[in-house]
A and B are shown apart, each in its own frame.
Chain A
Amino acid sequence: MPRFSIPEQELVYSGHVACPGCGGGLAIRYMLKALGPRTIVSIPACCWAITSGPFPRTALKVPTLDTAFETTGASISGLRAALDALGMKDITVVGYAGDGGTADIGIQALSGMIERNTDAIYFMYDNEAYMNTGIQRSSATPFGAWTTTTPADMDGTWKTEPKKSMMAIVVAHKIPYAATVSIGFPEDFVRKVERAKSIKGSRFIHAFCPCPPGWKYSPENTIKLAKLGVNTNVFPLYEVENGVYKITMKPSKPRPVKEYLGTQGRFKHLTDEMIAQIQERTDKTWNNLLALEGFSKEHPYCGL
């Protein structure tokens, strides 16, 4: 018998219409491997709302609710309430939303859901822009990136604001469990989703999903970039359980961010000066995270 390092069951059908090399496609595949068939997924407007293909096709083997852009948090609250009313306790409810649907449009419903401590998982797959509608800037787009609404090639108006930290926002709600995952590390990914499944209350997962057309790289490099994002500390992997931070992957020798930025067309306009600035910001964020890990042991949720 073959020995797999992640569950063998497949709950995503082939034949969906995600782009070749899609990071979000791997994220939902790993997520459902960890959650199993007793799951209901709510999907707002995002890449995965259209990835099933034209009606009546479906790409998932579990029940899926297609919902409006801003309602992921509200819809999973409703699903949970309905399941509770029916006495179906063994079903996991999960919202699978993009970064625009989470950090911009859906943040109110998400905040309400965590504040009520709804027993559901909110899964944010982060490809760092509105990729489904044609690469418009979102608040999760990183500093310095080109998008169609921050066209760097015209007059230097690349994105000049830093990426919004969704993890800090959800932890400030005193969420029982929140974690970051990368599709480049499937075992860590599956372990964290399984951990989230075992906890009661609101849970939040932030997944790093490279996007070949949006980030302007060749699709075979999806996994390389997903690993490089972690190994350069651009996207650190950590989890926050009951307010205590734990960094799950500490690169012994972090790679320079130039390696990560240089492989993507969306950063090709960056000067050496700006790359140095990004390196400085990345180091600062990483050092803050190390400090948080120490501080939160004594002061869960950092005294919020």
Chain B
Amino acid sequence: MKTYKTYADLPGAPIADVPSQEESTAGWRTTRPVLDPKNCTKCYLCWKYCPDTAISVNDEGWPVIRYEHCKGCGICATECPKECIVMEKEV
């Protein structure tokens, strides 16, 4: 009979190790946020409030929407104080 003397003797468990970002969620979108940085003040509210971590900040400090993972919830467009982001219908 197998005996378990330390934790190292325990049977293995399945480990999930494939990052979910390999999956695109772009197909979820019915509307797409379009960013016009003309009036952007770099407040990063859009970056802060994105539930999908789909807005990153580039080397020059501008927010960039990554459409591969944006689900089109519209929080960024609602929260932008300068109305730089508009939601456009996906076609």
Contacts and interface: CB of A to CB of B under 8 A. Distances in A.
24 contacts: A1-B61, A2-B44, A2-B61, A4-B48, A5-B44, A5-B48, A14-B54, A14-B68, A15-B69, A16-B52, A20-B28, A20-B73, A21-B74, A25-B51, A26-B49, A29-B51, A29-B53, A56-B16, A58-B17, A219-B73, A220-B77, A221-B78, A222-B73, A223-B75
B21 A220 contact: no
Contacts of B28: 20
Contacts of A53: 20, 23
Interface residues of A, number: 39
Interface of B: 7, 14-25, 28, 42, 44, 47-49, 51-54, 57, 61, 66, 68-69, 71-75, 77-79, 87
A23 interface: yes
Interface in A2-46: 2, 4-6, 10, 12-18, 20-23, 25-26, 29
Nearest to B79: A223
Given A4-B44, A56-B15, A13 B20 contact: yes
Contacts of A172: none
A22 to B, nearest CB: 5
Contacts of A20: 28, 51-52, 71-73
A178 to B, nearest CB: 25
**Residue among B51, B53, B79 with the highest chain A CB neighbour number at 10 A:** B51
Contacts of B78: 220-221, 223-224
Nearest to A12: B53
A290 interface: no
A61 B17 CA distance: 9
Given A21-B73, A58-B17, A219-B75, 14 more contacts: A4-B44, A4-B47, A14-B20, A15-B20, A15-B22, A15-B25, A20-B28, A20-B72, A53-B20, A55-B14, A58-B16, A61-B19, A64-B16, A212-B73
Q: Rank and list the top 9 A-B pairs by shortest CB-CB distance, nearest first.
A: A220-B74, A14-B69, A20-B73, A21-B73, A25-B51, A20-B71, A219-B73, A15-B20, A15-B21
Dominant SS among interface residues on chain B? loop
A274 interface: no
A61 B19 CA distance: 8
A64 B77 CA distance: 32
Nearest to B87: A220
A59 interface: yes
Contacts of A13: 19-21, 53
A13 B51 CA distance: 11
Nearest to B47: A4
Contacts of A10: 53
A6 B17 CA distance: 27
A147 interface: no
A175 to B, nearest CB: 29
A256 interface: no
Nearest to A8: B57
Given A14-B20, A52-B16, A6 B61 contact: no
